[in-house]
């Protein structure tokens, strides 16, 4: 028997800040997620709320291709928002739906080892790039029926917190745990999928290959926050992850069945 078929299924879902900021939509999404059977991990962002708080406090925010430049003050804000309010709010709402969830960051249990990004072209500030995922900790939690809820904050093992892209965290956890599970990676946001026209929901691309993605990006049809999401998706596609789908929070059940959203595929 193929060893792959002996593995249990694991769904890793990343949800974006736009859904988190809408309490009614978030509540509906978490209720539906709680009804999904099997092993699950939820990774969340929260960029919109963090940006608004920074604005209220008069702290300028800089974004490059959908990625936040994180100075010392911004790091404090994203840690408070992501690891604090948003993470615990999601956990409480999952508990209300009889899903035993544990809110954590990459620093907790040192479950995600990272380092401060180094770039010759641009100083990203306190932004983390992932080195390693602590599979043992995730396996222990999952085996006890606990659903990890991960906020996008990591640390470098020397006391420094780091702001780390939530899409990347979801992708790296998916890659690492694919050694132990048949992993499906799902990126959930407010749109029905990857759109040819960002203003027209009817232009969803059912299947997106890497070549087609590069063509759309070069024409300026895919930009900002969607770029790191798709870059991560294609990176993990050849790393053991069984399936990657991008879709809408309001259609979670259909997305998980591959009946809605955009499926990321290899070039033929």
- All structural domains of the chain: 3-265 (3.40.1160.10)
Task: Report percent pLDDT > 70 for the chain.
Answer: 95
Q: 245 — phi, psi (to 5°)?
A: -135, 140
- Nearest one of 49, 33, 138 to 94, comparing CA atoms: 33
pLDDT at residue 4 above 60? Answer: no
Q: DSSP letters of 222-268?
A: S-TTHHHHHHHHHHHHTTT--EEEEEEGGGHHHHHTTSSSEEEE---
pLDDT at residue 125 above 80? Answer: yes
**pLDDT tens-digit series, residues 229-250:** 788 788 888 788 988 999 999 9
Q: Identify the residue whose tokens are 């995730």.
A: 138
* Cα(15)–Cα(33) distance, integer angstroms: 11
How many angstroms from the chain centroid is the CA of residue 231? 12
**pLDDT tens-digit series, residues 163-210:** 998 989 999 999 999 999 999 999 998 888 888 877 788 889 999 998
């Amino acid at each position: 028997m193929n060893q792959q078929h002996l593995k249990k299924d694991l769904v890793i879902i990343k949800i974006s800040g736009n859904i988190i900021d809408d309490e009614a939509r978030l509540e509906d999404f978490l209720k539906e997620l709680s009804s999904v059977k099997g092993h699950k991990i939820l990774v969340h962002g929260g960029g919109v709320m963090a940006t608004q708080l920074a604005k209220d406090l008069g702290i300028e925010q800089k974004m490059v291709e959908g990625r936040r430049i994180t100075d010392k003050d911004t790091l404090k804000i994203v840690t408070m928002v992501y690891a604090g309010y948003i993470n615990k709010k999601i956990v409480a709402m999952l508990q209300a739906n009889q899903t035993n969830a544990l809110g954590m960051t990459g620093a907790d249990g040192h479950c995600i080892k990272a380092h401060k990004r180094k770039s010759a072209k641009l100083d990203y500030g306190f932004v983390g790039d992932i080195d390693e995922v602590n599979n043992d900790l995730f396996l222990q939690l999952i085996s006890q029926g606990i659903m990890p809820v991960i906020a996008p904050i990591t640390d470098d093992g020397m006391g420094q917190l780091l702001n780390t892209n939530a899409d990347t965290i979801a992708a790296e956890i998916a890659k690492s745990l694919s050694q132990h599970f048949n992993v499906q990676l799902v990126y959930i946001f407010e749109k029905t999928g990857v759109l040819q026209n960002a203003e027209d929901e009817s232009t969803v691309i059912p299947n997106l290959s890497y070549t087609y993605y590069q063509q759309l990006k070069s024409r300026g049809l895919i930009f900002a926050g969607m770029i790191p999401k798709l870059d991560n998706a294609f990176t993990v596609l050849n790393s053991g992850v069984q399936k990657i789908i991008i879709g809408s929070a309001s259609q979670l059940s259909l997305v998980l069945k591959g009946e809605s959203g955009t499926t990321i595929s290899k070039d033929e």
